[in-house]
Structure 1
Amino acid sequence: MFFRPGTTRIPFKTGKRARKRNGYPQRIELHPATDSHARAATEAYADSCASEMPWLAEWLRDSGAGGNVGLTHCASTVRRVFGLAQEWAAREPDYAHAAWEHVRLHLEAALTAHLRSKDTGDDVVALNGVQA
């Protein structure tokens, strides 16, 4: 997997002619240095392959592609998975809605603080007024 300036763009150029498909998947190149979605995808891939290919996960996280100096590039994934976990927990008899909402509030604060620190260029994340 190489991360180079690419030749394939998404969405593909559309023209009067239909694109020829030769049965092989198109090569799609990610640009983590300029695309926050590419950084999120790289982080998610590193998390996914960590158990089977720890060397690749480590390389992705250490490379400029991963570049994860803070909490996460995948805030939307964190929110989605937390929502699923809360839905599953709500089916149980000992579900405590207030406790889950308390955790959601702090999780959202951490993700928001991380996004703000990335926007300002700071690598330090402030949680509840305390810098970590």
Structure 2
Amino acid sequence: MRSGGLLQRKLEEFGISTISISNSPEMTIRVAVPRAVFIQFPFGRLLGDVDDRDQQREICDDMVEMLSNANQPNSYKHLDYSWPDPPELTKWRPEIPAPLGLLREEGKVDEELVEKNYRDEEREGL
């Protein structure tokens, strides 16, 4: 998310408006993306179910509308969509962790190297 925020802010410096979609409003606001819509859908499926093209199109249209109507950076909007499965039956996160997570569990990650190469210079502590 941080790299997306950095990229968005850089594009905005050149006059290119950007927007993100996120299911984690707190993190998205924390990294200060210029504009974002929030949706309570599972990770990896923020535009909806794989075969639900109509809903995917609706969500994309909502994002374009937000981008068109947001006159200033730091504009955020919660989209009013509901995931079709009950929350207790929904897999909100992938069952298999990201490769970096697996390497960390095995103790194979040089955390100092990660911190050095991937820190956010604009905001201390992130």
Normalised TM-score (structure 1): 0.23
Report 1 or 2 for greater relative contact order, CA contacts < 8 Å, sequence distance ≥ 6.
2
TM (norm. structure 2) is 0.24
Q: Which has the larger share of helix?
A: 1
